[in-house]
Structure 1
């Protein structure tokens, strides 16, 4: 049975332990008169405030799926983790890690919306963007985006992972929406080739989705908060790329070269 009542809800993703950004987003959601939230994963991993983020999440009744970093927090031994995962892991209690273990990787919510973190098959693959061999990040071709959506019947598809707010319309009218990142507007990754992803502003991002008949409207929200305080914490914990991304929404070529070896 399809869920027939018109829906309006908020989608958040990629908080990455940024409790101040999450606090600002949750306040903005309340100010919009919205009570329902879906959370698309990567809640904690960062040099920031994993436990503070967990406390905020315990206070809301969000529908949640796990992301790649959440999976690594429960699949890897602490000594095998990357720096951001290890810092978060050391802050979190066993109850929070057990909560992650119970979360699905994908979910169909109320028959109307398909939720995933990266793609339906892989939480660590970009869906709406692709990385070239020389490390440029660009929009994926529509045919490749649509190929990953085969078999999904829902008209609204939500994904995350790249931290870039986007809405893409498929040829058959379905929408794929990435709400952007609540807490990490720019980052460096080395797979599949060294690259940087940059939102271009330091604000906390999320999306509002509202059903209008058979269609969906999408509003991307950019919420200011004390991003310089979180940047300061990242620098104190020896993470200059995090500090730079949080402060500006960009990663400089110098920082990228120092970390990615280019």
Structure 2
């Protein structure tokens, strides 16, 4: 594992086996002169290039935690997995699964920086969003977001899971940051009710974080890349509906 620079670093999340989007983001991070990366999970589940993605991540030395789909790849029998988890599982060797198993669900990177996938206590809960009974994805009230941070040490709290790039400043001055999704800019879910999460762009997304005199400066970067190979892999895995997601960030 490489040294971590807590003053300036990149945050990525939710690759979902999109290795071409990952390579584009890693190239952009290098172009920014950034050496340190925090990866917030959901690495390999997706109907694309799970093995390729695993190989890149395992060789990278970046700080990684485990997401809910990573956990399901380890906990569920193959026949019980969701379809995108099963596509990924069938590509992976035991050493890839062992790497996933070695990852913690959360990480205290420094006294000032905490990382989780969903919330500090759940990898399946949205931290900064709430789903209405009608399926609308709305900003979660700030008091509820702050309540999830009770007892967590750090002024910068990192999360992923919703694939939506967002920053929220809490009443006590702490920052909650979601870097968006590297490899899956739109999806649907049926928990707690059916809803769509759509970013409206096919670009691979991540965040750059820098500690300044007055607090945390954060910036989202949307990186264009060619998704055609990933789309063909998804189609070959019987997931043609991923094409509009990868090209436009909308669920068709």
Query: Under a length normalisation based on structure 2, what TM-score does the superposition of the two structures give?
Result: 0.95
- In structure 1, the partner of 2:195 is 195
Q: Which moved more, 1:23-32 or 1:50-59?
A: 50-59
Contact 1:6 1:212 in 2 (8 A): no
Which secondary structure does the structure 1 equivalent of 2:60 belong to?
coil
Counterpart Cα distance in 2 of 1:38 and 1:153: 17
Counterpart Cα distance in 1 of 2:87 and 2:208: 31
1:46-195 matches, within 5 Å, as 46-195=46-195
Which secondary structure does the structure 2 equivalent of 1:46 belong to?
coil
Q: 1:108-165: CA deviations, max 9, x gaps?
A: 1022201000001100010111111111111111111111111123000000000000
Q: Which runs of 5+ in 1 are unaligned?
A: 253-262
Q: 1:32-76: CA deviations, max 9, x gaps?
A: 000000100000001000001011112311111100000000001
Q: Which moved more, 1:193-202 or 1:235-244?
A: 235-244
- In structure 1, the partner of 2:29 is 29
Counterpart Cα distance in 2 of 1:138 and 1:231: 29
Contact 1:188 1:195 in 2 (8 A): yes
- In structure 1, the partner of 2:242 is 242
RMSD: 1.2
Change beyond 3 A, Cα 1:56–1:6? closer
Q: How many residues align?
A: 248
Contact 1:11 1:208 in 2 (8 A): yes
Once the two structures are TM-superposed, the CA of residue 230 in structure 1 deviates from its matched residue by 1.8
- In structure 1, the partner of 2:232 is 232
Which secondary structure does the structure 1 equivalent of 2:209 belong to?
strand
Counterpart Cα distance in 2 of 1:113 and 1:50: 28
Counterpart Cα distance in 1 of 2:95 and 2:16: 18
1:193-232 matches, within 5 Å, as 193-213=193-213, 215-232=215-232
Counterpart Cα distance in 2 of 1:112 and 1:147: 18
Counterpart Cα distance in 1 of 2:228 and 2:168: 32
Once the two structures are TM-superposed, the CA of residue 6 in structure 1 deviates from its matched residue by 6.1
Counterpart Cα distance in 2 of 1:165 and 1:146: 18
Counterpart Cα distance in 1 of 2:215 and 2:162: 25
Change beyond 3 A, Cα 1:6–1:191? closer
Once the two structures are TM-superposed, the CA of residue 231 in structure 1 deviates from its matched residue by 2.3
